[in-house]
Every structure is written in structure tokens, then in C-alpha cells.
Amino acid sequence: MPPREPPLHVSLLVLPESMVFPVSGLYEVLTSVHGLAAIEPSVPAEPPFVVEIVTPPEAETRLPLGTPRTLDQVPRSDIVIVPVMTTDGGEWVTGRYPDAVDWLRQRHADGAMLCSACSGVLLLAETGLLEGREATIHWAFGGTFRDHFPGVRLQLDKVLVATGDREELVMSGATATWQDLALYLIARHVGPAAAQAMAKYMLLQWHPEGQAPYVVFLPPTDHGDAVVLRVQEWLREHYSLASPVEEMVRLAGLPERSFKRRFTQATGHSPIAYVQRLRVEAAKRRLERSDDPVDEIAWSVGYEDPASFRRLFKRTTQLTPGAYRRMFRLPDFARQRVAFTEGRRLEA
């Protein structure tokens, strides 16, 4: 029998903005892998990971996961994870944690794998190690990420990105994709069977469809173009009209080419692409909250040809309308409870 590999040292880098749930989730999953040995023979009986909480000296954390160590107390680590962090208004401010950024660079130079979950990549990007490479983050933070790190190729449709010469830079997208990150690390360092066993045991979920189904269309309205803003407000109620672009041009009172140029510059979308996104968002709400047939929903948002609507919907969300409904509608047991509660409320 070959000698047992020593456990990999994992540092969870926690800042005051770190969210408790992803930190505790990563901690609990990675520290309990060996407990699956009884149900999956390929899982080692000894812990494959040793996980510690690491913080900058000035950071105050109140996580119930033991006493954290400061950066200077952790001179080496095999895997460093920057978990999800909250931000003020969705905007990231760089330069607040220079010691943490330097520590990340040093660990990378020593051969460590650097990982992030969701907004944790904002701190990771400050190291400069992602320059010219792909990255992912929660779609809601795409704007602030691009503002600060324009040299990074942001891929918001991807749930997990592994890049670097050794694929040692690993990022997961939205908040719950810490599960994908944890399962990826288990699969990579312990084995696929261990990752599958953990997913089944803790009901963790991969997100192979990517982030596209979860993205909410939030068009910018702070661009300062009053003409475009007036058209945007009009579209909120009239997106389903036939020939919407012609109506938009008429409302703007501009030559068609001038309007299309101004609209695209202000919103980041061509007029027809903008209308399509509004229609898909409206269809998503109907699919989530009703049992209406897909063809009827297609007609209600402006498409006489259901096949065209289905193609657009899948191109936008990476799911068919039916698959989207199955993913996001309330399960039957929850719907029954909601209906019962609403009925009691009406009776009162």
C-alpha cells in the first residue's frame, strides 16, 4: 500500500465583509469528506483537508468556527479560498486590504492554489494574477468588476473557471456556487467518487447549466441620456408591441441611425436586443408563477411564432422554457402551503 498523502492545508481568508453561510458551508464540507469513507470505498478514512480560518490582523470576525489565525501566522498553505463578501451598494473599493493581497501573492508564489467564491474574486483580482485571464463572478457584480479590472476577461455565463499555468486560479460565480467550488476541490484532490458521494450526502448541487438561467436583466438608467431614458420607461409597458424599434424611433424623435447609436451607447444593448431581453424577463416571470402554456406566454410577450420564442429563450437562458419552469417554479409542497396561507389571510 502506498504511503498516505499528508492532508492539504486549506486557508479560508475571511474579511469583515465575508458572509457567514458560504464560509461555514465550505468549512463543513471540506472538513467532513473523510466521514464518507463508510459509504464510498474510494474516500480516505483520514481527513484529506485541514481547514483554517485566516484573517488580516485588523479584521474582526465573529464566526463560530474556532479562533482564526492572522496572516503572519500562516506562512504556507496548499489552497486558499476567498469566500463570498458583501459590498456597499454592489460597488467594490480597492486598496483596503493590502496585507491580504500581498499574502495572496506570496502564497501563489509558493505554489498554492488560489480560489474564490462569488465576490471573493474582487480581492483575488487585486493581486494582478488574473490580468489577461478569464474569471467569473456573480452577475450582479459584473459592472464593478469591469470598472476596476478591465484587463480580466469576465465570463458571467460560467459557474466555475479554472485558469493559470497550473489551473491554480479557481473561481466560482454566484453565491450558492461555493458548492461547485467545494465539489470541484474534492473531485480534483480526493477523487470524483468522493465528490459524488458528498453531493448526495449533503444534497449539494452542481450547476452545469451555468449562470445564464439566473441572470436578471437590469438595464442601466443612470447614463444621463434623457431621450433614451424616456424610451426605456415607455418600453416597460409596451415591449410586446409589433415593430417595437419603429415605435421607439418615433417616440425618440431622432433619425433611426442616430437613435440606434445613442441607445446602444447608453444601455449597452441594441434596441432590438434590449426588447428581446425585456420579453424574455416577462416570460420568465410567467413561467415561474403560472401554469400557462408556453405558446400562450410567447404570444403575450410579443411573439406570434412560438418556435422563434423558444430559440430566443434558450439562447438567452441556456434552458428551454419547460426546463426553466421546472427549475424555478415553487415545488408542489411549497405551492400548497402558500395557497393555504393566502386563503387564511383572505378569510381574516
The pTM (predicted TM-score) of the whole model is 0.79
The predicted pLDDT at position 2 comes to 47
pLDDT, position 1:
37
pLDDT digits (tens, 9 = 90+) for 133-154: 999 999 889 989 999 999 999 9
Domain with CATH 3.40.50.880 in the chain: 8-211
- Residue 140: the pLDDT is 86
- 8-211 has which fold? Rossmann fold (3.40.50)
CATH 1.10.10.60 region(s) of the chain?
A: 226-328
Give residue 16's pLDDT band: very low, low, confident or very high (50, 70, 90): confident
Mean pLDDT value across residues 111-115: 98
Helices (H), ranges, 191-255 = 192-202, 226-238, 244-252
The Cα–Cα gap between 175 and 21 comes to 10
Domain at 226-328, CATH homologous superfamily: Homeodomain-like (1.10.10.60)
What pLDDT was estimated at residue 60? 67
Give the pLDDT band (50/70/90) at residue 22. confident
Give pLDDT, residue 5. Answer: 78
